[in-house]
Amino acid sequence: MTHADEHLADNLQPMTDLHNYRIEDGDPDPRGYTVVTSSGQSLGRVDDLIVDTAAMKVRYLLVDRAGLGGSSESSDRILVPVDAVEVRGESSQVIAPALTGQERSWTAQRSTPATTEHDHTRMTRSEEELRVGKREVARGEARVAKHVETEHVSQPVTRRREELVVERRPVEAGARADASIGADEIRVPIMEEELVVEKRPVVKEELVVGKRVVEERDTVETDLRREEFDIENVEGINQRRTPRGER
């Protein structure tokens, strides 16, 4: 059995009737999600969100129990507290406990307004809101390469070489001479150091190339349009401005 003798407070309103309310960016909007129990039993589909306009919070899910075929009979819609459910955006499901028979019926909670909808003619007013997004774009590329340069160097080097030294000395009187007189020769090798130039590559330095992120502050300037009501000053007109968030 549903409670038919309780009424929602005036500050609890469907989100579809609140033109100035919307779901925060990044939070899932469960409207249209399938409501199932933890055991997989289907309970219906989320038809609307009931907002506490005083606390700026969603208090209930308005669940259409008429099945997933799109029926929206008022008698088949119940209120399920949001604190008792788990919203799973990746599967478009709301996990709720099994029905206990104590859920609130939506039709029993709606209080009858003093005037009918046909007593009013409505006109909405809209205005543009600024939303600044960011995206990555290529701003160029850095090219790192290497080339070869030639440097002429001059380095002093000391090298040795042999020179022939001929010294003529008189001999002592009476020195014995060779038995024969004739031509003769002596061969003396003369040596010297020859320069040998060798070049080999040696690692002297390394270059490490990376990237870092630098944050800069920019200012976005644009013109936003908004609609304003033009009300002619007619005698006897009664104007009342409702504070934002109230109805």
Average pLDDT for the chain = 80
Across the range 169-184, mean pLDDT stands at: 80
CA dihedral 45, 51, 52, 57 (to 10 degrees): 90
Spans of all domains in the chain: 12-22+29-111
> Does 88 have pLDDT greater than 70?
yes
The CA distance from 111 to 1, in Å, is: 20
The neighbour count for residue 100, using CB atoms within 10 Å, is: 6
Higher per-residue pLDDT: 71 or 82? 82
Q: Residue 54's closest CA among 24, 9, 17, 16?
A: 9
> Does 14 have pLDDT greater than 50?
yes
CATH homologous superfamily of 12-22+29-111:
Photosynthetic Reaction Center, subunit H, domain 2 (3.90.50.10)
Q: What pLDDT does residue 74 have?
A: 42
> Does 168 have pLDDT greater than 80?
yes
The CA distance from 229 to 247, in Å, is: 18
The CA distance from 53 to 243, in Å, is: 11
Q: What pLDDT does residue 84 have?
A: 85
> Does 178 have pLDDT greater than 60?
yes
Q: How confident is the model at residue 196 (pLDDT cuts 50, 70, 90)?
A: very high
Share above pLDDT 90 across residues of the chain, in percent, rounded to a whole number: 27
pLDDT tens, 39-67?
888 888 998 999 888 888 888 889 888 75
Q: How confident is the model at residue 118 (pLDDT cuts 50, 70, 90)?
A: low
* Gap between the terminal Cα atoms of the chain: 31
Q: What pLDDT does residue 71 have?
A: 45
| Highest mean predicted confidence (pLDDT) among 20-29, 41-50, 101-110, 118-127 | 41-50
Higher per-residue pLDDT: 242 or 221? 221
